[in-house]
Structure 1
Amino acid sequence: MSADVFTIDMLRRILLEGAGADDETAVTGDISEMSFEELGYDSLAALETGARIGREYGLELEDSTILDAATLGELVTSVNQQIQALGKV
Structure 2
Amino acid sequence: MSADVFTIDILRRILLEGAGTDDEAAIAGDISHMSFEELGYDSLAALETGARIGREYGLELEDSTILDADTLSEVVASVNQQLQELRTV
* TM-score in terms of structure 1 length: 0.93
Task: List structure 1 segments (4+ residues) > 3 angstroms apart after TM superposition.
Answer: none
C-alpha RMSD of matched pairs (Å): 1.3
Query: Mind listing any 5+ residue stretches in structure 2 that lack a counterpart?
Result: none
AA aligned to 2:27 is: V
Opposite residue 36 of structure 2, the aligned amino acid is F
TM-fit CA distance, 1:25: 2.4
- What CA distance in whole angstroms lies between the structure 1 residues aligned with 2:26 and 2:43? 17
In structure 2, how many angstroms separate the alpha carbons of the residues matched to 1:40 and 1:5?
A: 26
Match of 1:54 in 2: 54
Structure 1 unaligned blocks of 5 or more: none
The normalised TM-score by structure 2 is: 0.93
How far 1:22 sits from its partner (Å)?
6.4
* Aligned length, in residue pairs: 88
